[in-house]
Chains A and B, each alone.
Chain A
Amino acid sequence: DIQMTQSPSTLSASVGDRVTITCRASQSISSWLAWYQQKPGKAPKLLIYKASSLESGVPSRFSGSGSGTEFTLTISSLQPDDSATYYCQQYSSYSGFTFGPGTKMAIK
Chain B
Amino acid sequence: QVQLVESGGGVVQPGGSLRLSCAASGFTFSNYHMHWVLQAPGKGLEWVALIRNDGSDKYYTDSVKSRFTISRDNSKNTLYLQMNSLRAEDTAVYYCAKDRGSSGSYYTFDYWGQGILVTVSS
Contact = CB atoms under 8 A, between A and B. Distances in A.
Interface of A: 1, 31-32, 34, 36, 38, 43-46, 49-50, 53, 55, 87, 89, 91, 94, 96-102
Interface stretch (B9-17, B19-27, B44-52, B73-81): B44-52
Contacts of B46: 99
B112 A87 contact: no
B114 interface: yes
A98 B110 CA distance: 16
Contacts of A89: 45, 47, 108-109
B115 A43 contact: yes
**Chain A interface, DSSP helix/strand/loop, else mixed:** loop
Contact of B108 (A34, A43, A101): A34
Contacts, number: 59
A99 B100 contact: no
B112 A99 contact: no
B112 A43 contact: yes
B59 A53 contact: no
Contact of A46 (B50, B106, B108, B115): B108
A62 to B, nearest CB: 15
A45 B113 CA distance: 11
Nearest to A100: B44
B82 interface: no
Contact of B61 (A36, A38, A96): A96
A46 B110 contact: yes
B59 A87 contact: no
Contact of B44 (A1, A31, A96, A99): A99
A1 B61 CA distance: 10
Interface in B19-72: 35, 44-47, 50, 59, 61-62
Contact of B112 (A44, A94, A102): A44
